[in-house]
Amino acid sequence: MKSFIKGLPKAELHIHIEGSLEPELMFELAARNNISLPFGSIEEVRKAYNFSDLQSFLNIYYAGAGVLINEQDFYDMTWAYLKKAHAQNVRHTEIFFDPQTHTNRGVPFETVIYGVHAALVDAEHELELSSKLIMCFLRHLSAAAAAETLEQALPFQDLIVAVGLDSSEIGHPPQKFTPVFDQARALGFRTVAHAGEEGPPEYIWQALDLLKVSRIDHGVRCVEDTRLVERLAAEQTPLTVCPLSNVKLRVFDSMEQHNLKELLGLGLCATVNSDDPAYFGGYMTENFLAVQQALALDRDELQRLVRNSFEAAFLDQAERQRFIQELDSYVADTSR
């Protein structure tokens, strides 16, 4: 099963690039940029990755991102993620970035996007790994700040497929961002939003009805509302589920209690993703392995999860069909 999972051609649809910054690179960049970290060693950093909820993680995650200053830093972080993804046979990835985490520290928008984008171009050529970029607004900041960020992104619109919404969920309902999402859609961006990770099903309804999202990021709390589950199933709205993240941030007490298998059983378009792999103990393969073992997923369920990701990706139909064919051939070849 382990080698089957590792070899599966995969798509990742929920990865915060700042969440891929491993402690080793964090220390290297801190030294390069003369920044002092609140940790004495790499071991100390890893020990601090003991979270009680989303906010306790975000505090450390934003502090870690403080070592990113120059275009090369963003390139190095992104390239390290892409190499790792490639080694796990991720064939397509849709990457979130949080411009406000950087522009609020005085790092120009273009430094962030040029650094990340240059690595994506190299991955396309050198690793045959395709990708898209999704720009997230930080929901604990104001709607006006999100609108300003959208404005800053306009010169780079051809590099960004969609806008999203992340950071502290509770107390920051999607509704707060209706006007800026309206504006983004009018400009031609697709939309996604984190909803139903820690927040209530009501936030998922708002993401669907007000932000008109193509996908819900996380969405695991949808099961608390039968009508919502019916809607998500009828419309096959993808949920980008992040199993290791959910256990690390105490959304579920253990992987055995995760509802991924239940979501599939309800006919929902669930997918598996890593969220912030450097902080949560694993990339795509580790996420698949952890849920497979805890929930005894069979090969059909694993194939369904991966197929859902290709169905849910912002790909054109020819690319989508090519990846799905690659997946189907892999499964057929490994069952003989």
- Positions marked catalytic: 197
For residues 84 and 91, which CB has a smaller minimum distance to ligand ADE in the complex? 84
- Binding partner selected for residue 71 from ligand ADE, Zn ion, none, CB under the kind-specific 5 to 8 Å limit: none
For residues 197 and 301, which CB has a smaller minimum distance to Zn ion in the complex? 197
φ, ψ at 193 (rounded to 5°) = -160, 140
Q: ∠ at Cα 268 (266, 274), nearest 5°?
A: 120
The secondary structure element, H or E, covering residue 135 is strand 130-138
Task: Please spell the DSSP secondary structure of 79-126, one letter per residue.
Answer: HHHHHHHHHTTEEEEEEEE-HHHHHTTT--HHHHHHHHHHHHHHHHHH
For residues 68 and 136, which CB has a smaller minimum distance to Zn ion in the complex? 136
Q: Report, in Å, the least distance between residue 242 CB and Zn ion.
A: 6
Q: Report, in Å, the least distance between residue 4 CB and ligand ADE.
A: 28
- Binding partner selected for residue 197 from ligand ADE, Zn ion, none, CB under the kind-specific 5 to 8 Å limit: ligand ADE
Q: Report, in Å, the least distance between residue 333 CB and Zn ion.
A: 33
Q: Give the distance from CA 312 to its chain's centroid.
A: 13
Of residues 268-327, those binding Zn ion (CB under 5 A): 275
Cβ within 8 Å of residue 266, ≥6 positions away: 223, 229, 233
Give the interface with ligand ADE as residue ranges (CB under 6 A). 16, 19, 54, 61, 166-167, 194, 197, 245, 275-276
For residues 14 and 307, which CB has a smaller minimum distance to ligand ADE in the complex? 14
- Binding partner selected for residue 54 from ligand ADE, Zn ion, none, CB under the kind-specific 5 to 8 Å limit: ligand ADE
Q: Are 35 and 25 in contact (CB under 8 A)?
A: no
d(CA 188, CA 157): 9
Q: Report, in Å, the least distance between residue 273 CB and Zn ion.
A: 8
d(CA 167, CA 144): 16
Task: Please spell the DSSP secondary structure of 153-198, one letter per residue.
Answer: HGGGGGG--EEEEES--TT--GGGGHHHHHHHHHHT-EEEEEESSS
Does residue 76 belong to the site contacting Zn ion (CB under 5 A)? no
For residues 25 and 58, which CB has a smaller minimum distance to ligand ADE in the complex? 58
User: By rule CB under 5 A, what count of residues binds Zn ion?
Assistant: 1
Task: Report the chain's terminal Cα–Cα distance, integer Å.
Answer: 14
Q: Which residue is nearest to Zn ion (CB)?
A: 275
Q: Report, in Å, the least distance between residue 194 CB and Zn ion.
A: 6
- Span interacting with Zn ion, options 59-67, 112-120, 129-137, 267-275, rule CB under 5 A: 267-275
φ, ψ at 93 (rounded to 5°) = -140, 140
Two structure tokens written together for 250: 């105490």
Return residues touching Zn ion (CB under 5 A). Answer: 275
